[in-house]
Amino acid sequence: MKEIYIGVDVGSVSTNVVAIDRNVNVLFKTYIRTNGQPIDSVKEGVKQLREALGDVEVLGVGTTGSGRQLAGAILGADVVKNEITAHAIATIHFVPDVRTIFEIGGQDSKIIIIKDQMVVDFAMNTVCAAGTGSFLDHQAERLKIPIEQFGDLALSATRPVRIAGRCTVFAESDMIAKQQFGFSKAEIIRGLCDALVRNYLNNVGRGKNLEPPFVFQGGVAANKGIRAAFERELQSKIIVPEHFNVMGAIGSAILAKNYIEKTNAKTNFRGFDAADIDFSTASFECKGCSNRCEVVKVSMEGKVIAMWGDRCGKWTNSL
Amino acid sequence: MKVSFPYMGSAIVYKKLFEFLEHEVIMPPKPTQRTMDLGVKYSPEFACIPLKMVMGTYLEAIEKGAKVLVTSGGHGPCRAGFYGDTHRNILKSLGYDDIELIIFDAPQDSWRAFFRNVQKIRNGVPWHKVINRMYTLYRFVQKLDELEKMVQKIRPYEVNKGQTTQVWNQIQERFDKIKTRKELYKVYEECKQLLFSIPTRKVDEKDRIRVGIVGEIYVVMESSINFGIEEILGNLGVEVERSLYLFEWINDNLVPWILRPKRFKEIIKKGQRYIKILIGGHAVETVGHIIDFKERGFDGIVHLMPFACLPELVTQSLIPKISKEVDIPILSLPIDEQTGKANMLTRIEAFIDLLKNRKRGKTKEVFIDNIQEHVQEERVVMV
């Protein structure tokens, strides 16, 4: 029977599930739209994993992403870790000499600076440069171009067009203006890719010393137009790893593997039946003191299995 | 007079102040989502978050019956100096003509205005009593701050999660009831014992992580707006110290300059290495404290700034340079009504991972090892 470690990355746009073996070979990966339903998408991912791999023994489970706590509670994860560390771990495994990681997902954009295989600095979009992936999606839809062809079309452009990329709202109106001037779709898309990369490097990478090798990952790394824009802007080669869109999930699987191997612990994994169990979340305002915390409660078939959000630990510790 | 004031940090101190002056005190509620909603609704969009939250607090205090609102003004070119007047205008436009807003600007700007205000809130209490009670309040703030600093050093090592915070809440309740100086010293000693009796893990000196919190005063002092960052860090096993405590603020701003401790001047001097002129807000202090924390052996800095706060924006743009020159990791967190907690938690966790790596070694093996420790800490919160 195959022995595997499962990694789950629950983001705002996509939920990724991977399975790796003891040597970090990726045996299975899936990329599912979260659609605002993280519980369903986690279940769906695990179900797909079971169907694809058949009989397996799960040695450990790790979760990451903004939904890491929820996914951790549902699956019974051994490791619950933030996505910056998870991404760094996976990238260091595949590209050991990496110095700079660009990670652009549906909502968040990050830059992680690595030195001697160690995270020494990182930045995440603050109030702007958020939602790059979602914005590209939206523009593809507006221009009636399948998102898969978006990058190729950008590459076919011959002239550069400058699009204002400070803010996506203005970028969109600028794109429309340039359309009215008569620029082709391809040229406008190339201009948009340049603008997003420029904005990302200026905003997220502000003041950071970016050194090659550069690794580009996250869902947006599939877009050849953005890749090319990066290469133009940085005058350097950009590495896109094979599993670029599920690196966070791989990272959390590696973390779970390291944790289990080091501690010889038995996994907390609830088993594949978790996909059939009824989970629900609810939240309430605790009136115990003036903090008025919003407490999140996860129940499994009516029984409360996890709570968080309370600052004093009254509910978290009540289980 | 039914007096209220903006809620910031240990608000019982301000309550005590007005109780000592024999006012009827309307305690403003601790800012919540509702406070923010109210504040955002009635404030200019591009004002920074402290203005909005204080606006919301005023409206909630007025609902509870406050007639007089007392606040501090500004000094130097930060627009906080206009906030009092902005608030006054907004209140007027909402039809609250009977609400009096008393703004204490820096006394050195106009001593006459300052004393006029003092006369107003003195409420006819004889001067010798005022002086005596203000001295009690001064010690009250000092003792409360001392206890809070202890809390921040005990919380990361507590065995029972959440216990330190519970004790801290009890301490504040007990301080709230204090009437005399004698009582103060007694309660202080008892509270200290209460803190020392919290069971803690033994952690080696070399494994301790210390983080300094710097930035604009409101977001640094008021936990409801900064997501309780001190608790978040404490729960991740990190010792915390703020750049600002009320006692030090009083010493730096209200105590006559001859009696002031030297520390403040030193901090300003350190800050002026990077910001030479006064640009308002706490920019120079923020930079000074970053350097000071580094010199005192801290491992990292969390820099809090209200979104669109110009002085802190200047600081933020200097941070890559400072971080490199003094060799200390700094995490800047802009705070606004739009700030999401999930995003903020991710940054803080990753930042602490980074600090642990830096502290404990430089090989890949250690890197992974550290993460596991962190994981175990985090698991306590899980199920």
Over residues A61-77, the pLDDT tens digits come to: 999 998 888 888 889 89
Of B321, B357, B381, the CB nearest to A118: B357
Sheet with A118-124, side-by-side order of all strands: A118-124, A109-115, A100-104, A214-217, A238-239
- CB contact under 8 Å between B353 and A84, yes or no, is yes
**Which string of DSSP letters, residue by residue, matches chain A?**
-EEEEEEEEE-SSEEEEEEE-TT--EEEEEEEE-TT-HHHHHHHHHHHHHHHH-SEEEEEEEEESTTHHHHHHHHT-SEE--HHHHHHHHHHHHSTT--EEEEE-SS-EEEEEEETTEEEEEEE--SSS--HHHHHHHHHHHTT--HHHHHHHHHT--S------SSHHHHHHHHHHHHHHT--HHHHHHHHHHHHHHHHHHHTSTT----SSEEEESGGGG-HHHHHHHHHHHTS-EE--TTGGGHHHHHHHHHHHHHHHHH-PPP----GGGGTS-EEEEEEE--SSTT--EEEEEEETTEEEEEE--SSSTTGGG-
Q: Kindly state whether B372 is in contact with chain A, defined as any CB-CB distance less than 8 angstroms.
A: yes
d(CA A20, CA A27): 5
Structure tokens at B277: 């002129």
- CB contact under 8 Å between B336 and A317, yes or no, is no
For the segment A29-46, the average pLDDT, to the nearest whole number, is 87
pLDDT of residue B361: 64
pLDDT of residue B206: 80
Q: Report the SS3 class of residue B239.
A: strand
Per-residue pLDDT of chain B (383 residues; tens, 9 = 90+): 799 999 998 889 999 999 999 999 999 988 888 898 899 999 988 888 999 999 999 999 999 999 999 988 776 677 777 888 889 999 999 999 899 999 888 777 788 888 888 888 888 889 999 999 999 999 999 999 999 999 999 999 998 888 898 899 999 999 999 999 999 999 999 999 999 999 998 888 888 899 999 999 999 999 888 888 998 999 889 999 999 898 888 888 777 777 777 888 888 899 999 998 888 888 899 999 999 999 999 999 999 999 888 888 889 889 989 998 999 999 999 888 877 777 788 889 999 988 988 887 644 443 444 444 444 444 333 32
- Kindly report the nearest CA distance between residue B30 and chain A, in angstroms: 7
Interface predicted TM-score of the whole assembly (ipTM), two decimals: 0.81
d(CA A5, CA A20): 5
Of A72, A85, A313, the CB nearest to B162: A313
Residue in chain A lying closest to B371 (CA): A255
pLDDT of residue A129: 52
Lowest mean pLDDT among A194-198, A257-261, A277-281, B19-23: A277-281
pLDDT of residue A26: 92
- CB contact under 8 Å between B353 and A124, yes or no, is no
- CB contact under 8 Å between A80 and B379, yes or no, is yes
Structure tokens at B268: 């300003």
- CB contact under 8 Å between A80 and B30, yes or no, is no
> What is the percent of chain A where pLDDT is above 70?
96
Over residues A206-236, the pLDDT tens digits come to: 778 899 999 999 988 988 999 999 999 999 9
Collect contacts of B163-166 with beta carbons under 8 A, ≥24 apart: B163/A313, B163/B198, B163/B199, B164/B195, B164/B198, B164/B234, B165/A311, B165/A312, B165/A313, B165/B231, B166/A312
Residue in chain A lying closest to B327 (CA): A120
Highest-scoring range by mean pLDDT, A163-177, A198-212, B233-247: B233-247
Over residues A269-311, the pLDDT tens digits come to: 988 887 778 888 888 888 877 667 778 888 888 788 888 777 6
pLDDT of residue B219: 92
pLDDT of residue B220: 93
Structure tokens at A94: 């595949």
Lowest mean pLDDT among A36-45, A145-154, A224-233, B372-381: B372-381
**Which string of DSSP letters, residue by residue, matches B270-292?**
HHTTT--S--STTHHHHHHHHHH
Q: Kindly state whether B343 is in contact with chain A, defined as any CB-CB distance less than 8 angstroms.
A: yes
Q: Kindly state whether B320 is in contact with chain A, defined as any CB-CB distance less than 8 angstroms.
A: yes
d(CA B9, CA B148): 11
| Mutate: best of A94, A203, A291, partner B, most B CBs <10 A | A291
pTM: 0.85
Contact B319, B232 (CB under 8 A): no
Sheet with A56-64, side-by-side order of all strands: A26-33, A14-20, A2-10, A56-64, A79-80
Of A69, A118, A124, the CB nearest to B367: A118
- CB contact under 8 Å between A84 and B369, yes or no, is no
Residue A146: Cβ within 10 Å count: 9
Contact B329, A90 (CB under 8 A): no
